Each structure stands twice: as C-alpha cells, then as structure tokens.
Amino acid sequence: MSDPTHAAVRRETEDPMSSQHDPIVTPSRPVAAAGAAAGQPQHLARSVTVERLNAWYGDQHSIKDLTLSFAPNQATALIGPSGSGKSTVVRCINRMHEEIPGARASGRILLDDTDVYAPGVDVVAVRRAIGMVFQKPNPFPTMSIFDNVAAGLRLTARKVGHDQVESALRGAGLWEEVKDRLGKPGIGLSGGQQQRLCIARALAVEPDVLLMDEPASALDPISTLKIEELVQQMKSRVTIVIVTHNMQQAARVADQTAFLLDGELVEVGATEKIFTNPDDSRTEEYVTGKFG
C-alpha cells in the first residue's frame, strides 16, 4: 500500500472528492503526491502503533509494557478507572509526557512506520503531526478567535490566509457561530465553544492524528454531544484517539475501544464487542459498573 508522502510535499489542491453536501464542509486537503486515485478516502491519515510502552513519573511506574495500535481514519477510545494511565499513554504519543519534570518513557510509538522516540526525531515535528485537545479548554487568553486558530499556522508561515482559518473553524463546527466576530477574544466564548475553538486550532495545522484527552468532561451535555458529532466527522481526515471515562460516550463515537487498568492494557477490540461481550472478566466488571 503506497505511503502518501504528503508530509514533505504540501500542495494546495482542490480535492475532487470533497463533498459540498455535508452540513460540515470538509476542507480541501492536499492530495498525495504519489497520485491519489479517485475512490480513496478523503485523506489517508496515519496509523499509530504503541509497542511495549513504559512510562514513569519519577519512580512511579505508571504504564507497564503497553502495546496497542490505532487504525487510521478511525476513532479509538481509551477507557478505564482514574489512574489507569489513559492520559499518560496519550501524552506519550505526542511526547508531551516528557515535559513533566522527572517523567520519562521508553518503548516505541510508530506513526505509520516511524518511531517518534527514535533518536534524531524532532519533538517539535512530532507534535505538529500529532495534535492534541485537552480536558480543560485552553484558548490563548490574549488572542482573538482568528489568532487562536492561526497560532499553529503562524509558526511556519508568516501570512495565514483567511480561508485556512475558516476551513479549520468549519471543521470544528464553529464557523457559523463566530464568523462575525473573529476579532473578538477567544476566551469570551462559552466553555463548549472554547473547546471547539481548541479543536479548530489543532485541526488548522492539518495533523494526521488527533489526541483528545477527555475533551468533553468539563462541558455541559449539549456541548458534549456536539463534540461527539465532530469526532464522527473528523474521522475522515484524522486518526482519533479519545480518552474518556464516560462509557456511553465511548460507545457512541469509537470504532475501537481499549480498556486500561493500572497502567496495563487489559483488552482491546471493536467497541460493540467490548461493551456487550468482552473477553476479560475485568473488562466486563468495569463496563457493567462494578467498579471504577
């Protein structure tokens, strides 16, 4: 299967596959340089494979020999009780884990076939390709809505086109609500809107993978539903890993679900199977609410 080397060659071309009929218009995506045949998905995102990941906070061994893969263009949910290491796994994927003083990780995490922990790999480049949305919405307080979305783009390009920002905001389902006030401060939005602003900000740099660490846990139910709709729509462009302690949410949005307990992977499989007929008894106890 050809590996689209779109990372190195980015050409703004109108994707012939983009549908004008979706309520949320998927923005144009650069076509793979190796020639995209019609019939391929809109954008082939990348797979993420975690191999024998171990992570520590100081002396505390929090992730133990974890191996897990995330299929491209799919949403995978990580569920498990508090302290099971879900957030840590996700933060290892984009190498945010090492930003914590005293924290370290070992193992391999492959984006397609490149190990993000390989020596010589630039952390900054990894984080560009793997985006993140945090539990608490964190738009930059001193920036306007436009500047917030453009923030990541401005790192590599001096001028950011209005259409790029619009595109990202549409992708986050926020365009209609803010199109008339792009100059207003980002923190003036409601909690749910702020989180979608953060999603737009992450999408603007066109990552291959989007990590979402309990993105709706700080939001009201209606905002939560909107976020879940977004996850469904974004799947066509990015591979999504979503951490959640809300099992119903996992059931709603994820194609695949992984159950973590005490830093270990207990079971992973199709979401429906995990919730109706899991293999491991611990999984069954968790999803039926016996603990956690």
Partner 1 sequence: MEAGTLTPAGERRSALHRSPAARLPDRILKWGLTALSVGVIVLIAYFFVRLIVESRPVFQQVGVVNYLFSADWVPSKELYGALPLLAGTLITSAIALLLGIPVAVAAALFVTELAPRRVRGPLTVVVDLLAAVPSVVYGLWGFFFLIPKLQPAERWFADTFSFIPFIGGTVTGPNYFVAGLILAIMILPIASAISREVISTVPGEHKEAALALGATRWEMIRMAVLPYARGGIAGGAMLGLGRAIGETIAVTLVIGNAPVIGGSIFQQGYTLAAVIANEFGEAASNELHKAALIGAGLVLFVLTLCVNGVARAFVVRAERGTRAADQPAAGMAT
Partner 2 sequence: MSSLAFAPVSGRRRRTDKIARGMVALLTGVALVPLVLILYYLVKQGIGAISLDFFTTDPTGSFLGDPGGIKSAIVGTVLMVALATAVAVPVGVGVAIWLVEFGRASKLAHAVRYFIDVMTGVPSIVFGLFVYITLVIGNVGGSSFAAWKGATAVALLMLPIVTRSAEVVLLLVPNALREAAYALGAPRWKVVFRIVLPTALPGIVTGVLLAIARAAGETAPLLFTAAAVNATAFNYNDSMNSLPMLIFKNVGQAQDRLVTIAWGAALTLVAMILMLTLLARLIQRRSRLS
Contact positions vs partner 2 (CB under 8 A): 3, 5, 7-8, 10, 111-115, 118, 121-122, 124-126, 128-129, 155-156
| 189 touches, from partner 2, partner 1, none (C-beta below 5 to 8 Å by class) | partner 1
Start-to-end CA span in the chain (Å):
41
| 284 touches, from partner 1, partner 2, none (C-beta below 5 to 8 Å by class) | none
- Is residue 217 a contact partner of residue 245, using CB atoms and an 8 Å limit? yes
| 187 touches, from partner 1, partner 2, none (C-beta below 5 to 8 Å by class) | partner 1
177 binds partner 1 (CB under 8 A): yes
Measured from the CB of residue 219, what is the shortest distance to partner 1 in angstroms?
Answer: 7
User: Looking up tokens 């001193």, which residue turns up?
Assistant: 142
180 binds partner 1 (CB under 8 A): no
What's the rounded Cα separation, in Å, for the pair 225 and 229?
Answer: 6
Site track for partner 1 across 46-65, x = CB under 8 A: --------------------
238 binds partner 1 (CB under 8 A): no
Measured from the CB of residue 136, what is the shortest distance to partner 2 in angstroms?
Answer: 27
94 binds partner 1 (CB under 8 A): yes
- Is residue 193 a contact partner of residue 155, using CB atoms and an 8 Å limit? no
137 binds partner 1 (CB under 8 A): yes
- Is residue 187 a contact partner of residue 178, using CB atoms and an 8 Å limit? no
Q: Which residues pair with 112 in a beta bridge?
A: none
- Is residue 229 a contact partner of residue 236, using CB atoms and an 8 Å limit? no
Single out the segment in contact with partner 1 by CB under 8 A; choices: 20-28, 163-171, 222-230, 244-252. Answer: 222-230
24 binds partner 1 (CB under 8 A): no
Measured from the CB of residue 196, what is the shortest distance to partner 1 in angstroms?
Answer: 9
- Is residue 212 a contact partner of residue 228, using CB atoms and an 8 Å limit? no
183 binds partner 1 (CB under 8 A): no
User: Looking up tokens 């194609």, which residue turns up?
Assistant: 255
Measured from the CB of residue 241, what is the shortest distance to partner 2 in angstroms?
Answer: 18
- Is residue 20 a contact partner of residue 42, using CB atoms and an 8 Å limit? no
Among 223, 249, 257, 283, binds partner 1 (CB under 8 A): 223
What's the rounded Cα separation, in Å, for the pair 247 and 95?
Answer: 26
> Residue 69 corresponds to which tokens in the numbers above?
């893969």
Longest pairwise C-alpha distance within the chain: 55
Written as one letter, the residue type at 42 is: Q
176 binds partner 1 (CB under 8 A): no
Q: Which residue, among 247, 240, 224, has the nearest Cα to 79 in the 3D structure?
A: 247
Measured from the CB of residue 191, what is the shortest distance to partner 1 in angstroms?
Answer: 4
- Is residue 177 a contact partner of residue 24, using CB atoms and an 8 Å limit? no
User: Looking up tokens 């539990």, which residue turns up?
Assistant: 135
Residues near partner 1, by CB under 8 A: 94, 96, 99, 101, 124-129, 131-132, 134, 136-143, 151-152, 155, 177, 187-194, 198, 201-202, 205, 219-223, 226
